Structure 1
Amino acid sequence: MTTTSNSPSFLIGDRAVGNGFPVYFVADIAANHDGDLERAKDLIYLAKEAGADAAKFQHFAAATIVSDYEFSRQLDIKSHQSNWKKSVFNTYAAASVDLNWTPVLKETCEKAGIEFMTSPYSFELADHIDPYLNAYKIGSGDITWINYLQYLAKKNKPLLLATGASTFEDAIRAVEAVKAFNNDVCVMQCNTNYTGSLENFRYLNLRVLNCYKEMFPDCVLGLSDHTPGHSAVLGAVALGARLVEKHFTDANDRDGPDHKFSLIPASWRAMVDSTRELDLALGNGIKRIEPNERETAIVQRRSLCAARDLQAGEVITAKDLIPLRPCPPNAFMPYEMEHLVGKTLRVAMPFGKSISRTSVE
């Protein structure tokens, strides 16, 4: 971790993430591979072409992430899962990554020139995936599983901690737990609703990032976003987010739990390009005449000019002056009139000529 003047950063592979560095984009392919390894590989290349810095998957086993008993017999509340064509348990089972895929996915990412990333959802899978990872993404649903968070923290790799469907207390508890063992943490604002509804914008609450900046000054800020388009991403970056995660697919009309709210390559590229433009536009906060404005400052600002033909030796009065464009170098600004009135002209000044500092005494 590098922290100077409230500018925390860390490395993911050879890429620096944090203040002063380009926004880092994670394309969450998640379950959008649809159980097909070749499709997963294709999505990796598409993510790279669309401008992603990392291609992310999810390593889980249905039996160690969901209770079939609770979802099928006990729990009526299923949120976005109510639209799934299979049971919750079977959907997770179908979306799981075959462990034999892991080295292939890693190798494919290396060939594509993109970081391989995944979220493991058990101790065993964390151990399995560790040799292949340079950072861990922790999903919002595990923010209360402190033992697991600390287990990942002890692996001494950057942690990307999503904080969806949680409170400040939850975030503080989790961050304090992992920072006891690991200083490289990105705290990500998130609204954990996967319906893709426009209504979700009212619940995204990006200003939480302002609070996180005060609460966790030595953490990188991020956004894990599930809203349509990329307006939320631009807002988050303007508020200080330096890492962004969005779901990624090649077609929104495919069957599967994540396709409908994912960005397709063209939309993803538009998000990245817009963010790069925004990053340039944000600047350093110092108000000044910028290099590309210097000529404009001359042609659009006014200077004090002769309001009539003036002769050398005349003492200038207020009636002798008129503020007109342009404002050449060494001219008097309109707010300097009181400093010019009463001075004597060294040379004659025709009507409309800007009075320079060297032409008076």
Structure 2
Amino acid sequence: MTTETTLPTGAPAPVAIGDVQVGAGQPVYVIGEIGINHNGDIEIAKQLIDVAAAAGANAVKFQKRTPEISTPADMRDKMRSTPWGEMTYLDYRYRVEFDMPIYQKLIQHAADKGLHCFASPWDVPSVAFMEEAGALTHKVASASVTDLELLTALRETGKPIILSTGMSTIEQIDKAVETLGTDNLILMHATSTYPLPPEEANLRMITTLQERYQVPVGYSGHERGLQISLAAVALGAVTVERHITLDRTMWGSDQASSLEPKGLEALVRDIRILEDAMGDGVKKVFPGELAPLSRLRRVDA
């Protein structure tokens, strides 16, 4: 079983999300990003929560929008083919939103499974909505890094904030961090290409963000497979977020770059193995080496 370790010298203090500490020296906080992969169906959403719980994740995350505010004006009237027929993009956005009673049921369902449940609010009213729903924390989507009105509203909640940094310049991240403040802030390195090709992963940004902002840094991945997410953990990511789905062939723009149940289970398993394997960096002779030592070493020191 993975246990917390001593905080590395000079590492920023962990951030508390509910009863869980997220940061260096703590078990990696694994987030199953449901997003809108539920396609507006509460039963699919519940099944995805169950998948995250069975895999050993720590949290699930949704996306919350007020469609008439968060949908770009030039996109609203564009027609889209959906499982429910042809409809405008704005109508589609409404079709996949959940109301307050459903969110409260989902948050309770997650809690019953031992999971945190929160969302990425895409507009100021959605911040108030998720506050009323009882979310323990809020996530900033990469697309919202430059929405200073939204960031200000999030800071005013006093809740821990998780900020993704995809599709953003370092100057834009600077401004976002200045707006949010560094108390109770977790940054997430991300590249917003779906699916993510390895050459765009740029995992060394994890170290860059850690050194620049002195806050816990995690990784939000959109790649196929597990290797890049595991490498992020080896480089010091304190939280890993991956989209999850029941089936990658389901309808929806995020399904193909999501992990199916077995993939999420393997990711969590391998993260926990990797945590144990990282060690403390202090050279020692381990108990398992004693027998080979006595059998193989000819000259004592």
Equivalent residue for 2:277?
281
Equivalent residue for 1:67?
72
Partner SS state of residue 63, structure 2: strand
Matches within 5 A, 1:170-189: 170-179=172-181, 183-189=183-189
Equivalent residue for 1:161?
163
Give the number of the structure with larger relative contact order, counting CA–CA contacts within 8 Å between residues 6 or more apart: 2
Partner SS state of residue 113, structure 1: coil
Amino acid in the other structure paired with 1:52: A
Give percent identity, aligned residues only: 30
Q: Is the 8 A contact 1:7 1:20 kept in 2?
A: no
- Equivalent-residue separation in structure 2 for 1:50 and 1:243 (angstroms): 15
The structure with more radius of gyration: 1
Matches within 5 A, 1:34-183: 34-70=39-75, 88-131=89-132, 132-179=134-181, 183=183
Amino acid in the other structure paired with 1:142: S
Matches within 5 A, 1:6-21: 6-21=11-26
- Equivalent-residue separation in structure 2 for 1:171 and 1:300 (angstroms): 54
Q: Is the 8 A contact 1:60 1:125 kept in 2?
A: yes
Q: Count matched residues.
A: 287
- Equivalent-residue separation in structure 1 for 2:8 and 2:267 (angstroms): 28
1:169 offset after TM fit, Å? 1.1
1:302 offset after TM fit, Å? 1.6
Matches within 5 A, 1:137-286: 137-179=139-181, 183-194=183-194, 196=195, 200-217=197-214, 219-286=215-282
1:68 offset after TM fit, Å? 4.1
- Equivalent-residue separation in structure 2 for 1:4 and 1:201 (angstroms): 31
Equivalent residue for 1:349?
none
Amino acid in the other structure paired with 1:33: H
Segments of structure 1 that go 5 or more residues without pairing to the other structure are 74-84, 304-331, 334-361
1:108 offset after TM fit, Å? 0.8
1:46 offset after TM fit, Å? 1.5
Partner SS state of residue 133, structure 1: coil
Segments of structure 2 that go 5 or more residues without pairing to the other structure are 1-6, 79-85
1:124-167 per-residue CA deviation (whole Å, 9 max, x = no partner) reads: 12112114111111100110112211220121111110000111
TM-score by length of 1: 0.75
- Equivalent-residue separation in structure 2 for 1:102 and 1:192 (angstroms): 26
- Equivalent-residue separation in structure 2 for 1:141 and 1:171 (angstroms): 12
- Equivalent-residue separation in structure 1 for 2:281 and 2:88 (angstroms): 52
Q: Is the 8 A contact 1:149 1:178 kept in 2?
A: yes
1:3 offset after TM fit, Å? 9.7
